[in-house]
Every structure is written in structure tokens, then in C-alpha cells.
């Protein structure tokens, strides 16, 4: 099992970019014209016909070019080739809740794993027409301009971003305490509703750090490569090696990584319940 060559990685990047932009065109065409918005079993976990059509377009392009690869797509599930070392992780619309409400923060996210680790990532914002691309050893770009993480040195000067999982109503491990604590320690914490764009923003130096729990592989596979290739760090909350299956990620410019990790570990989980009338 040999790692992919630089030439192969470039081909993967170009095909993933084609697929992401094709999906983005569908999302723009469907904008403001949705006929069906459904919940997928958990409150707030939405799917629309735009998600499904965009995913179909992505899979058609990737499967045509790489019929021997395996595919994990948010709406279709695992489409596996048992002997493949390659797995595409596909989120056709990361930020479906935003999209369904007419709030223009959403993206297409396509990542490629080799031997279980992310090697290629493409995140496309169809509203700004920004195409974020990265591959291991080839660097990270936005519209072909090199990306570099921020130079912010300490937590007090940082701007962070995070999110809240669909099960936040059912568990004390819901990120509320961390959000409040870090809002006090930093210049601010944002919540965009798109993990892919959050990671892309860290890679671009627009934000200094990101943490979140309850994530799926298709949410973060592409963004991990972007951050790492832009000079940032990705780990578990405690700074140990990141595990994809954990669904819990810490990604920063590297300079605030240790202090943000320590702050997350200090945060006590507190019981929370809504105030009812």
C-alpha cells in the first residue's frame, strides 16, 4: 500500500473541485425555492431536495473518475469497495439549517481519506464563490492563493468559532459551558452553523481556533487537511492525537493550541434545562 503521489493528489484535487462546484451550482439554483424540508429523526437535523440533488451530482462525478474508491456521503451512507484504501467523505450541504432558513452560510465539503487519514480536502462556498483546496504536502489555497493560519499569539487576543451538536438538548456535554467560558476569555466566539467553513476560516487566518463535538466524518475530513496544510494544528480536546471516530475536534493556528486545550479541559459541565413558562 503506497501513499498517493503528488501527481495523483493533484488529480484528486481537481476532480473534487469539479464535483464541489457542480454541487454548488445546484445549491445556488435551489436557493429560496425549496419544496421539501424534512427532519432526519433528530430535532434540527434537516435535509432538503437541494442536499440530495447536490450529493447525486458529486457522486456521479467521483464515481466516474474513481470507480474503485469507496464513498461515505451524508445522505446516501457508505458505498464501499471492500478492497479500497481510499474513502471519499462527502457533505453536499454543510449548513442545511442555515440554507433552509435563507441564511447564506453553507458549503460543499469533499474530503478524501487514504488508509483512514485525510489527505485531500475541498470546501466550496457557493455564495461567495470561494474554493478552498488542500492536499497533504501540496499546501492549502483559496481560489489558488496560498492560505496561512493567523499569527495570534494568545487566547485573550483570539477570535474563535464553535458549534452545537443535534443532541445538545439531551446531554450536559452540550458545549454551552465551554462557549460561555471562552467568550469571557477571548475577543469573541462565533457560531456559523457550518463546520466545513469554520475549519476553512481557521486555515485562512480569519479565525484563530475552532472546537466542536458531535461531528461526523463528512463534516470535517476536508477541513482538517485545509488547517494542517495552512500551518495549523488539529488534535483532541486534550491535545492528544485526533481520532476521527470521536467526533470531537480542536483546530487552531498552533500558537494558541495549548491554552485553548487547557481552557476546554478546565470547563466544568453544568446541568442545564430550559426555563419554561
Q: How many whole angstroms separate alpha carbon 242 and alpha carbon 256?
A: 17
DSSP state at residue 141: E
Average pLDDT for 260-273:
81
Average pLDDT for 57-80:
94
Q: How many whole angstroms separate alpha carbon 219 and alpha carbon 159?
A: 21
Banded pLDDT at 249 (limits 50, 70, 90)? very high
Q: How many whole angstroms separate alpha carbon 119 and alpha carbon 107?
A: 19
Average pLDDT for 208-237:
97
The pLDDT, as a whole number, for residue 274 is 60
Banded pLDDT at 165 (limits 50, 70, 90)? confident
DSSP H/E element including 113:
strand 107-114
Banded pLDDT at 224 (limits 50, 70, 90)? very high
The pLDDT, as a whole number, for residue 103 is 95
Average pLDDT for 53-61:
96
Q: Is the torsion defined by CA of 181, 184, 187, 191 positive or negative?
A: positive
pLDDT tens-place string over residues 75-120: 888 987 878 999 999 999 999 999 999 999 999 999 999 999 999 9
Domains and CATH numbers, the chain: 6-146 (3.30.540.10), 155-266 (3.40.190.80)
pTM of the predicted model as reported, rounded to 2 decimal places: 0.93
| 181, pLDDT greater than 60 | yes
pLDDT tens-place string over residues 16-27: 999 999 999 999
SS3 state of residue 69 = coil
Amino acid at each position: 500500500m503506497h501513499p498517493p503521489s503528488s501527481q495523483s493528489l493533484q488529480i484528486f484535487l481537481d476532480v473534487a473541485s469539479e464535483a464541489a462546484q457542480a454541487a454548488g451550482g445546484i445549491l445556488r439554483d435551489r436557493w429560496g425555492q425549496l419544496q421539501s424540508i424534512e427532519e432526519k429523526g433528530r430535532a434540527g437535523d434537516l435535509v432538503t431536495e437541494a442536499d440530495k440533488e447536490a450529493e447525486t451530482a458529486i457522486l456521479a462525478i467521483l464515481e466516474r473518475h474513481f470507480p474503485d474508491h469507496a464513498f461515505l456521503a451524508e445522505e446516501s451512507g457508505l458505498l464501499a469497495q471492500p478492497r479500497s484504501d481510499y474513502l471519499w467523505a462527502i457533505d453536499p450541504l454543510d449548513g442545511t439549517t442555515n440554507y433552509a432558513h435563507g441564511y447564506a452560510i453553507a458549503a460543499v465539503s469533499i474530503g478524501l481519506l487514504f488508509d483512514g487519514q485525510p489527505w485531500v480536502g475541498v470546501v466550496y462556498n457557493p455564495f461567495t464563490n470561494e474554493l478552498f483546496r488542500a492536499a497533504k504536502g501540496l499546501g492549502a489555497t483559496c481560489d489558488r492563493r496560498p492560505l496561512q493560519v493567523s499569527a495570534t499569539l494568545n487566547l485573550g487576543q483570539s477570535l474563535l468559532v464553535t458549534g452545537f451538536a443535534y443532541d445538545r438538548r439531551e446531554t450536559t456535554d452540550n458545549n454551552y459551558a465551554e462557549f460561555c467560558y471562552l467568550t469571557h476569555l477571548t475577543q469573541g466566539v462565533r457560531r456559523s452553523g457550518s463546520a466545513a467553513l469554520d475549519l476553512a476560516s481557521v486555515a485562512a487566518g480569519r479565525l484563530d481556533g475552532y472546537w466542536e463535538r458531535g461531528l461526523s466524518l463528512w463534516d470535517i475530513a476536508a477541513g482538517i487537511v485545509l488547517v494542517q496544510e495552512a500551518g495549523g494544528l488539529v488534535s483532541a480536546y486534550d491535545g492528544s492525537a485526533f481520532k476521527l471516530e470521536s467526533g470531537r475536534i480542536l483546530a487552531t493556528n498552533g500558537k494558541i493550541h495549548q491554552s485553548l486545550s487547557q481552557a476546554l479541559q478546565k470547563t466544568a459541565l453544568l446541568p442545564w434545562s430550559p426555563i419554561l413558562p
